[in-house]
Amino acid sequence: MIRLFHVPLSPFCRKVRLSLAEKKLEVELVEERYWERDPDFLRRNPAGKVPVLRIDDMILSESAAICEYIEEKHPTPSLMPNDPEGRFEVRRLVSWFDDKFHHDVTSNLLYERVNRKLTKSGYPDSKNVKAGSKAIKYHLDYMAWLLDRRRWLAGDSMTLADFAAAAHLSSLDYISDVDWNRSAVVKDWYAKIKSRPAFRSLLADHVSGFPPPEHYADLDF
Amino acid sequence: MIRLFHVPLSPFCRKVRLSLAEKKLEVELVEERYWERDPDFLRRNPAGKVPVLRIDDMILSESAAICEYIEEKHPTPSLMPNDPEGRFEVRRLVSWFDDKFHHDVTSNLLYERVNRKLTKSGYPDSKNVKAGSKAIKYHLDYMAWLLDRRRWLAGDSMTLADFAAAAHLSSLDYISDVDWNRSAVVKDWYAKIKSRPAFRSLLADHVSGFPPPEHYADLDF
Ligand SMILES: N[C@@H](CCC(=O)N[C@@H](CS)C(=O)NCC(=O)O)C(=O)O
Ligand SMILES: N[C@@H](CCC(=O)N[C@@H](CS)C(=O)NCC(=O)O)C(=O)O
């Protein structure tokens, strides 16, 4: 049985969950309160981070490496284009979201509003929240610019890039931090991806102390 | 002609330079003072980060995606294993260095000591420098643990994982922040990689205002 050590709103974990689900690989989810630094957990991943995936008798960490591994072992349905140029663009965008978007937006909004409380490390820093609220606009505009030119973020088919982006946006949507009215193409893109069966498990998440808003699981948001 | 927009001590740029050189792809290096936010540069990469590579009539950003692209287009000599498990381990370690090592060590030491001065953004924060000096020990020990079990970081052959690690360590060695006496296996590994022709261009770097120590370019350090 595949097992994922995760936290529900982690965008890195959500990206892996989406990949597994899209490929119809059943997974047992185990919540891992990484901030408690359980020694068993640190043995599984000395970096002390989630996601950690147990699959094929191996223990894998680092979400980008995990998703490439899943893709190579279970190539259909494909989440990667066939040409090097197409694959480059997918990987560039996955890094864009997991490095730049994460730094500019997710860490300023989600980590301030939710993780600080969960990990009992103080109150949200309003300077950071403000910076995040400003930065998400720029990122949504960048997505709109891409989606004006392409059906999906990296090209004509749905790829890991869409999952990386949707992982971050869905976590932020859980705390009502995404203004879906900013761009019609971005909203359409999210509606498309949100309605996939692979998304269901994410939409069913409930973090205690943080009830999701009604629109979060609504396919007609 | 391949052209790389870079800064000399950036570990992400160095990883790309090592990959290109190992594959004997000649590159023209163009120094990009990214903190000046030149509009031409931002057009090439809206993330405003280096490295940016011009190759095959494309403009590429994000070092991990760039290295995978180079690997796919120029597969020999190979910097990636043939099996999915081997490739996973390479990608995991590249992420380990570019995410965790970068966060724990490079940003606390190199960015505090060098980038702050270059970008005229104040003095090194001694709390960060202290944290970086402490964290590098843990990381060198982790590398030693791996190298006690393997010839190279990810397995029996030299891969992108070694280049990612060597890119960070070489930048830190430029400012004398690596204690090579901590581990004999790590020192041997670095001596091996440092003596490769691909490393020469890195060893010739000179950043004005920051002369390298003598041992930096010495193969017998
Ligand atoms: N590069 C890692 C990042 C994972 C990550 O940062 N996960 C967060 C949760 S969203 C975490 O575990 N943080 C704990 C820590 O940094 O100590 C990946 O892609 O898997
Ligand atoms: N994920 C990027 C990171 C590149 C990066 O952070 N580069 C630094 C220089 S070492 C930079 O350009 N920083 C400018 C900024 O963050 O604004 C990659 O792998 O290429």
Question: What integer is the mean pLDDT of B206-220?
Answer: 97
Report pLDDT for B41. Answer: 93
Please give the class, per CATH, of domain A84-203. mainly alpha
Could you give the C-alpha distances from A26 to A198, A201, B150, B164, in angstroms and in order? 11, 11, 33, 33
CA of A128 to the centre of ligand 2 (A): 20
Is any atom of ligand 2 closer than 6 Å to the C-beta of B106? no
- Asked whether the bond before B77 is cis by omega within 30 degrees of 0, the reply is yes
Q: H helices then E strands: how many in chain A?
A: 10, 4
Cβ-contact B163, B122 below 8 angstroms: no
Digit-coded pLDDT (tens) for B60-100: 999 999 999 999 999 999 999 999 999 999 999 999 999 99
Rounded distance, CA A107 to CA A113, Å? Answer: 9
Length of chain B in terms of residues written: 221
Token digits of residue A203 = 């939409």
Cβ-contact B199, B193 below 8 angstroms: yes
Burial B63-72 (b: 16+ CB within 10 A, else e): bbbbbbbbbe
Report pLDDT for A120. Answer: 94
Report pLDDT for A30. Answer: 97
Report pLDDT for A67. Answer: 98
Token digits of residue A64 = 């980008």
Cβ-contact A12, A167 below 8 angstroms: yes
Report pLDDT for B13. Answer: 98
Report pLDDT for A221. Answer: 95
Of B4, B6, B12, B172, the one to substitute when testing ligand 2's pocket (max ligand atoms within 8 A of C-beta) is B12
Ligand 1 atom with least separation from CA of A66: 20
Of B62, B98, B99, B102, the one to substitute when testing ligand 1's pocket (max ligand atoms within 8 A of C-beta) is B99
pLDDT band at B115 (very low <50, low <70, confident <90, very high): very high
CA atoms within 13 Å, Cβ hemisphere of A36: 8
Rounded distance, CA A164 to CA A214, Å? Answer: 23
Question: What integer is the mean pLDDT of A67-80?
Answer: 98
Q: Which residues of B touch A49 (CB under 8 A)?
A: 100
Rounded distance, CA A45 to CA B114, Å? Answer: 31
Q: H helices then E strands: how many in chain B?
A: 10, 4
Question: What integer is the mean pLDDT of B205-210?
Answer: 96
Length of chain A in terms of residues written: 221
Digit-coded pLDDT (tens) for A41-53: 999 999 999 999 9
In the structure, which protein residues have their CB atom closer than 6 angstroms to any atom of ligand 1? Answer: A 10, 12, 34, 48-51, 62-64, 98; B 95, 99
Per CATH, is B2-73 categorized as 3.40.30.10? Answer: yes
Rounded distance, CA B4 to CA A211, Å? Answer: 48
The answer to whether the CB atoms of A84 and B73 lie below 8 A apart is yes
For A46, the closest chain B residue by CA position comes to B142
What is the residue with the minimal CA distance to atom 19 of ligand 1? A63
Fold: same for B2-73 and B84-203: no
Q: Is B11 helix (H, G, I), strand (E, B) or coil?
A: helix
- Provide, rounded to the nearest whole percent, the portion of chain A with pLDDT above 70: 100
Ramachandran angles phi, psi of B125, nearest 5°: -90, 115
The answer to whether the CB atoms of A95 and B142 lie below 8 A apart is no
- Hey, which residues does B155 pair with through a beta bridge? B152
For B48, the closest chain A residue by CA position comes to A100
- Please state at what angle helix B84-95 crosses helix B160-174, rounded to 10 degrees: 20
CA of A14 to the centre of ligand 1 (A): 12
Distance of alpha carbon A51 from its chain centroid, rounded? 11
The answer to whether the CB atoms of A73 and B84 lie below 8 A apart is yes
pLDDT band at B148 (very low <50, low <70, confident <90, very high): very high
Rounded distance, CA A109 to CA A178, Å? Answer: 10
Per DSSP, A192 falls in state H
Cβ-contact B119, B35 below 8 angstroms: yes
Report pLDDT for A23. Answer: 98
Single pTM value for the model: 0.98
- Provide, rounded to the nearest whole percent, the portion of chain B with pLDDT above 90: 100
Digit-coded pLDDT (tens) for B23-56: 999 999 999 999 999 999 999 999 999 999 999 9
Contacts within 8 Å (CB) and 24+ apart, B208-212: B209/B117, B209/B118, B210/B114, B210/B117, B210/B174, B210/B175, B212/B174
Q: What residue has token string 């995404």?
A: A178
Report pLDDT for B174. Answer: 98
Report pLDDT for A88. Answer: 98
Q: What's the complex ipTM?
A: 0.98
Report pLDDT for B65. Answer: 98
Cβ-contact A151, A139 below 8 angstroms: no
Domain range summary for chain B, segments of one domain joined by +: 2-73, 84-203
Digit-coded pLDDT (tens) for A13-44: 999 999 999 999 999 999 999 999 999 999 99
Digit-coded pLDDT (tens) for A154-209: 999 999 999 999 999 999 999 999 999 999 999 999 999 999 999 999 999 999 99
CA distance B137 to chain A (A): 14
